[in-house]
Structure 1
Amino acid sequence: MATGARRDRGAVRRALTGWAFAGPATALVVGLSIFPAVWALFISRTKWNGITAPKDIGFDNYTRMAEDTDLHAAVWHTVVLVALFVPGSIVLGLLVAIALNQRIRFLGFYRTCIFVPYVASAAATGILASFVFNPQFGGANELLRRVGLPPQQFLESTSQAMLVVVLIAMWGQIGFVSVIYLAALQDVPAELKEAATVDGASRLRVFWHVVVPALRPVTLFTAVWQSITALQLFDLVYATTRGGPLNATQTVVYYVYELAFKSQRYGYGSAVAYGLFVFTMLLTLAMIWYSRAKRIEAF
């Protein structure tokens, strides 16, 4: 009995010690993520301006989303952003990773230069890009003038602004994708590539039929990660265009910001935010289902 009691006290002591370390972090996660998410769910069922008492209106905010033309435009802009950003960042990240996987001088310096934009603040990146792409005195137009091309409006053009935002976002994310692919390339078995070369396959065929299939799990994981990144992109849009010109770069996340913090429509803004959350979750689950259906060990 005494031995069992000492064992129980030891288990309790170890549990308390573990919670002493994990408790503060757990409380921080609950306080800063889970609790606000649950609270926002209740707010989404109300009409509330942040000052007066909230009025319960059921699911009217969710049904209103089907008739909101501004939301539809923001959804379309978000779809365009995802469609351009995700494949572009994956392809460019893979090409950069292949280049950085070679035995060249100053390799560590090049890898550091590629990764620095990823760890830099998105707001700082957006402010810097605003100067680079300024139509009057920006470096981008100066370069175009030097090669004999006409200057462009870039972030001040309704047809060019989204493309420029995508380019800036890719510049900031290439480092992350490159690091992921660089690690995956070093794990591709050299025996497979050597066997394909001995069988007469060219370097391009070896890459396409040996390396690319081996990278499928990493590619799928990166596609999920980059899709979530694009759907949540806010700080870069805020620092460069603030949704303009003429709402040409207003994404769903930025539209939620406009609703909640400029129009004080907290209930409807929370409903739109939850709509984006549901879409993001369904897209992620669809990709996970695809990876398991195709037996791609990405998750």
Structure 2
Amino acid sequence: MAVTFAATPRTQAAAPPRRGPRRLRRNLTGWAFAGPATVIVVGLSVFPAIWAFFISRAKWNGISPGVPVGWRNYQQLVQDPDMIAATRHTLILTAIFVPGSIALGILIAVALNQKIRLIGFYRTCIFVPYVASAAATGILAGFVFNPQFGAANDILRHLGLPQQQFLESRHQALYIICLILLWGEVGFTTVIYLAALQDIPRELVEAAVVDGASKWKVFRHVTLPELRPVTVFVAVWQTITAMQLFDLVYTTTRGGPLNSTQTIVYYIYELAFQTQRLGYGAAAAYLLFIATLVLSLAVILYGRRRGSEVF
């Protein structure tokens, strides 16, 4: 008896699902959420920057038609004594503020990284000046450093020290503004360094202690090298903050006395909105952008040469 076997049809491989329409729908959904914000960011940053470049190559007061002058505004800025003085003031402020904020941030962060009572309260107190508005900080500082009835001179009086003019002295005002800026910004660097300290592996510290390293050697050879990438970031951020300082100067000295606290941004404000020299002010703003970019790149390249790649 012959047994016949029916040939079973070969099962066809299932066709892969079509991912094209699904991926397109997912991309369209994402752009539907991100698109409006992208348009706003581009409209409020990229377009004004391009427009300001064309304004910087013209003589324009904002009302009458602009007159193209080429690169004349930039050539005049290089020889402008007020611009040179504002640049010198900004560089002095940056040279004092950036290292000072880094050093104070590290020291306070190390102190706040200890296990002590009310540590949360202390951390909050350090960060409060940073979240306060610059206008409020400037107004408060104006009362504190007032030569007649300020709290600073009152303390000096009780200590038997001579009274100072502070913000009304052309030799002291810039350093007082730097001190106020440090008071307002040190909370930011402290929080950054505090987070970095808590991210350092405990095994490294414990191994150094087991090997007989003192607290200072642990801090110098273990903690500081681990904080190097964060230091590069903080240096770049604080450099930009110092070079773009405006609000604190506006609320305290208005560039005085005798333009001794006039920074680059405040000088740009006077050019554009007080003397209506919009083209000249736009050229100064672009020079400030180039200087800030060069300094930031220099700090980043220095950090990479030291083995700290942050950006």
| Same fold flag (TM > 0.5) | yes
Among 165, 173, 184, the residue aligned to 1:172:
184
**C-alpha distance in structure 2 between counterparts of 1:206 and 1:50, whole Å:** 60
Quote the offset at 1:88 in angstroms.
Answer: 0.5
Q: Write the letter of the residue equivalent to 2:206.
A: E
Q: Write the letter of the residue equivalent to 1:53.
A: P
Instruction: Confirm whether residue 127 of structure 1 aligns to residue 127 of structure 2.
Output: no
Q: Which residue of 2 aligns with 1:209?
A: 221
**C-alpha distance in structure 1 between counterparts of 2:78 and 2:300, whole Å:** 28
**C-alpha distance in structure 2 between counterparts of 1:169 and 1:127, whole Å:** 13
Deviation by residue 1:271-294 (Cα, 9 ceiling, x = unmatched): 010000001111111222222222
**C-alpha distance in structure 2 between counterparts of 1:225 and 1:136, whole Å:** 36
Among 73, 77, 92, the residue aligned to 1:80:
92
Corresponding residue SS for 1:264: coil
Instruction: Confirm whether residue 183 of structure 1 aligns to residue 199 of structure 2.
Output: no
Q: Which residue of 1 aligns with 2:299?
A: 287
TM-score, normalization by structure 1 = 0.96
**C-alpha distance in structure 2 between counterparts of 1:163 and 1:289, whole Å:** 29
Deviation by residue 1:76-105 (Cα, 9 ceiling, x = unmatched): 000000000000111111111011000111
Quote the offset at 1:187 in angstroms.
Answer: 1.5
Deviation by residue 1:128-148 (Cα, 9 ceiling, x = unmatched): 111111111111111111111
Corresponding residue SS for 2:76: helix
Unaligned runs of 5+ in 1: none
Q: Write the letter of the residue equivalent to 1:226.
A: Q
**C-alpha distance in structure 1 between counterparts of 2:36 and 2:121, whole Å:** 38
- Structure 1 vs Structure 2: percent identity of aligned residues? 66
Q: Which residue of 2 aligns with 1:277?
A: 289
Instruction: Confirm whether residue 104 of structure 1 aligns to residue 116 of structure 2.
Output: yes
Quote the offset at 1:5 in angstroms.
Answer: 11
More helix by share: 1
Unaligned runs of 5+ in 2: 1-14
**C-alpha distance in structure 2 between counterparts of 1:256 and 1:5, whole Å:** 60
Q: Which residue of 2 aligns with 1:58?
A: 70
Q: Which residue of 1 aligns with 2:274?
A: 262
Quote the offset at 1:173 in angstroms.
Answer: 0.6
**C-alpha distance in structure 2 between counterparts of 1:186 and 1:11, whole Å:** 41
Q: Which residue of 2 aligns with 1:195?
A: 207
**C-alpha distance in structure 2 between counterparts of 1:4 and 1:271, whole Å:** 59
Among 225, 228, 239, the residue aligned to 1:227:
239
Q: Which residue of 2 aligns with 1:10?
A: 22
**C-alpha distance in structure 2 between counterparts of 1:280 and 1:111, whole Å:** 31
Instruction: Confirm whether residue 161 of structure 1 aligns to residue 168 of structure 2.
Output: no
Quote the offset at 1:151 in angstroms.
Answer: 1.4
Q: Which residue of 1 aligns with 2:251?
A: 239
Aligned-CA RMSD value: 1.5
Structure-to-structure mapping, 1:39-54, within 5 angstroms: 39-54=51-66
Quote the offset at 1:62 in angstroms.
Answer: 0.7
Deviation by residue 1:52-90 (Cα, 9 ceiling, x = unmatched): 100000010011112101100000000000000000111
